[in-house]
Chain A
């Protein structure tokens, strides 16, 4: 069964870049432009992994992770942060919110795909 991965980022071009890497590896992709948009689009889906930016309008990435962890259906869905933020304090914020991994942009496709392979739900 093909695994579904959600990409949450306000940059459409970056969503394209991530999507093309994931599709090339055989994953299906669902895109959202911010945390609130993602929460709206998650309903009724079976998502195996969420990749989210941190700095976004309307709802930022950390708030989004906290909101996802409140949803019974997605409580255990792994979340990886993909952001330009590299400061340790920010990483700790993400960890405390419930993120499983933190990847700093710009990313290399093999690094992204290795991380995805380790995190994605069976």
Chain B
């Protein structure tokens, strides 16, 4: 609200308009006109004097009325100005207070929900990271690690044990094969006996032939002896009969020995072939077993190496997660800073009210804020703002100021009493 005409009406005596003098001028002109145009006489002179007097009286009356009006107006304007000034101040503070009361609760709610959201998220993150670190610890140092080591030791022992048992099987088969060879040698040695038996059977046949011939001669001589030789002839026949029987037996022996020889030769041949096949199979089985064991051992070694690599990677991951977890400490500081901001936003209407009743309000508010701070960042920001207010030349971001002193701070962070 403004009063532009107030300044022009402030000094009515000095600036009385010329119009106020017009009745006097009009009276003087009429008086002069009467004196000039009419013949000089007492009535004309009286009338002119009267007009002049009336015009003077009217002019003075008008001027007095004007002055009074001006004085009243000035008083009125002054009063209006005073009222306007006071009303304006009250109006502004009231509006600002209303504004603060209308906005501050919303801002406080926004800050609170932001704080809660950040705290919840960081808590969830930290819990998950902590769970990950725990699990990795268990894998690396706890039951999981030990179980893995036990498993790997068990696998190695199982391989050693299986290799030993398979070697034993190979050795047993080898032993069987050697026994079979020994038996084959025996068969071959028996084959040598059959030749001898064949020779003996031949000898039996030859003796039988000789006996038969001898018995034939004896029969001839018995016949030649006549009656005296009759008994001898009977003996000779019997001997011939025995010789024939012996020759027959020798022939059958020879035939059987021949059959046996053939059978033993076949057996020996088959046994030799089987022995060679067994030896080849044994060699192949031993080679296969060694190859399979070697492959499995290589696979286990690979698994062990992979497990070692996995373990090293897990340790790296654990370290990284632990570092990330440490960096989540920012939440605590951010939370405290936001709490203080929230408090001061809540206090804004009160701060505005205090403008009406207190002096040095800003300084007092700044001191209150400074006392409430708990973090270095808050104090640094506050001080830098004050410095900026004092001099535009001293500028710098809080982060830069902080990072330059970070390493020194780490050393000074711990105090023993």
Encoded as 1 (CB less than 8 Å from any A CB) or 0, chain B from 321 to 346 comes to 01001101111110110000000000
A29 to chain B, nearest CB (A): 11
Q: When the two chains form their complex, are residues A99 and B417 in contact, meaning their CB atoms are under 8 A apart?
A: yes
Q: How far, in whole Å, are A92 and B416 apart by their CA atoms in the complex?
A: 11
Q: Are B329 and A101 in contact, CB atoms less than 8 angstroms apart?
A: no
> Interface SS of chain B: helix, strand, loop or mixed?
helix
Contacts of A104 in B (CB 8 A): 376, 409, 412-414
Interface membership of B375, Cβ < 8 A: yes
**CB of B119 within 8 Å of the partner chain:** yes
Contact of A11 among B127, B129, B331, B416 (CB under 8 A): B331
Please count how many residues in chain A sit with their CB below 8 Å of the partner chain's CB atoms: 35
Q: A17-B326, A24-B322, A84-B374 in contact; A105/B332 too (CB < 8 A)?
A: yes
Q: Which residues of B contact A23 (CB under 8 A)?
A: 134, 137
A86 to B413, CA, bound (A): 8
Tell me whether B414 and A105 are in contact (CB under 8 A): no
Q: Tell me whether B367 is interfacial, beta carbon within 8 Å.
A: no
B133 in contact (CB, < 8 A): yes
Complex interface: chain B residues within 8 A of A76 (CB)? none
CA distance A108 to B376 in the complex (A): 17
Q: Which residue of B lies closest to A20 (CB)?
A: B130
Distance of B196 from chain A, by nearest CB (Å): 90
A13 interface residue (CB < 8 Å to B):
yes
**Which A residues touch B363, using CB under 8 A?**
none
CB distance from B117 to the nearest CB of A (A): 13
Tell me if A58 counts as interface (CB < 8 A to partner B).
Answer: no
Q: Which residues of B contact A115 (CB under 8 A)?
A: 414, 416
| Interface presence of B358 (CB below 8 A) | no
Q: A106-B330, A108-B410 are in contact. Are A101 and B325 (CB under 8 A)?
A: no
Using a CB-CB cutoff of 8 Å, which residues 76-115 of chain A contact chain B?
83-86, 91, 94-95, 99-109, 111, 115
Let me know if B326 and A102 touch, CB within 8 A: no
In the bound complex, CA of A99 to CA of B322 (Å): 28
B122 at interface, CB cutoff 8 A: yes
Which of B122, B133, B322 contacts A13 (CB under 8 A)?
A: B122
A102 contacts B417, C-beta separation under 8 Å: yes
> A53 — nearest CB in chain B belongs to which residue?
B332
Q: Are B130 and A19 in contact (CB under 8 A)?
A: yes
How far is A102 from B139 in the complex, measured between Cα atoms in Å?
Answer: 35
With the chains together, A71 CA to B99 CA distance in Å? Answer: 51
- Nearest first, the 7 A-B pairs at minimum CB distance are A16-B126, A106-B329, A104-B413, A95-B417, A13-B126, A102-B415, A11-B332
25 contacts between A and B (CB under 8 A): A11-B331, A11-B332, A12-B123, A13-B119, A14-B332, A16-B129, A16-B130, A16-B328, A17-B326, A17-B329, A20-B130, A20-B325, A84-B336, A84-B375, A85-B374, A100-B416, A100-B417, A101-B415, A101-B417, A103-B413, A103-B414, A103-B415, A104-B376, A106-B326, A111-B410
Chain B residues near A (Cβ < 8 Å): 119, 122-123, 125-127, 129-130, 133-134, 137, 322, 325-326, 328-333, 335-336, 374-376, 409-410, 412-417
